[in-house]
Amino acid sequence: MPNYATLNELKVWLSIGTVDTTDDASLTIALNGAEAAIDRYCSRSFVAAGTVASVRYFQAIDANLVHVTDIGNLTDLVVATDLDFDGQYATVWAATDYQVDPINAIADSRPVTAIRARRGGGETFPVYGEEKLVKVTARWGWPAIPAEVKQAAVLQAARFHSRRRAPLGSIQAPELGGGERLPSRLDPDVQVLVEHLRRSWFGLAL
């Protein structure tokens, strides 16, 4: 089931009546494809964080910083480290030992993308080769799906759906004097919408 935009939202954009179910299957495929294309372009998913926390493991950048997958809700957040290199992650950090980064991310409807060891706290991150010695339990995702991602999903899905009339990559456009070539990459307007949301190697600057 598509996450970023609903089937009815796409139908409205395409001026298809919501009671008309003729193309529901192909429209759903287009929405799913649009989501995958946006996620691949941005190197992240924008699905909203759920109510269940799960565990993921990370390699710290240094003793004071670890970049994490997007965290969209700080409830149930737990940080633990494996100081003995035995896979047990027995050192559980107190809330006073770390600070989420960006610190105002959740309030700004953006995800936490890093955790910093707090100066004066009792813990630092272990670093040993490429071992993932940091265990984070969290509600992964975004506080809510960004409005620009919803719009991008509709635009890109509409473009994909139009390929039904363009098996060779072009559609007839008499007003333009012939065929209009469809872009082989992400729709340019979609790129404008989500460019600022792309993940960089060093986390997301918000």
- For the segment 174-191, what is each residue's pLDDT rounded down to a tens digit? 433 444 444 457 899 999
Structure token digits, residue 104: 């105002």
pLDDT on residue 100: 98
Q: Model's pTM, two decimal places?
A: 0.83
Answer whether 134's CB lies under 8 Å from 81's CB: yes
Between 120 and 55, whose confidence is greater? 55
Answer whether 82's CB lies under 8 Å from 133's CB: yes
- Could you tell me whether strands 54-58 and 65-81 are parallel, antiparallel, or unpaired per DSSP bridges? unpaired
113-162 pLDDT, tens digit each: 999 999 988 899 999 989 999 999 999 999 999 999 999 999 999 999 98
Give domain limits for the chain.
7-46+145-197, 54-140
pLDDT on residue 204: 39
Give the range among 93-107, 157-171, 181-195 with minimum mean pLDDT. Answer: 157-171
pLDDT more than 90, % of the chain? 81
Answer whether 158's CB lies under 8 Å from 127's CB: no
Distance between CA atoms of residues 162 and 171, nearest Å: 8
Picking from 121, 85, 86, 116, the residue whose alpha carbon sits closest to that of residue 103 is: 116
pLDDT band at 164 (very low <50, low <70, confident <90, very high): confident
| pLDDT for 67 beyond 70 | yes
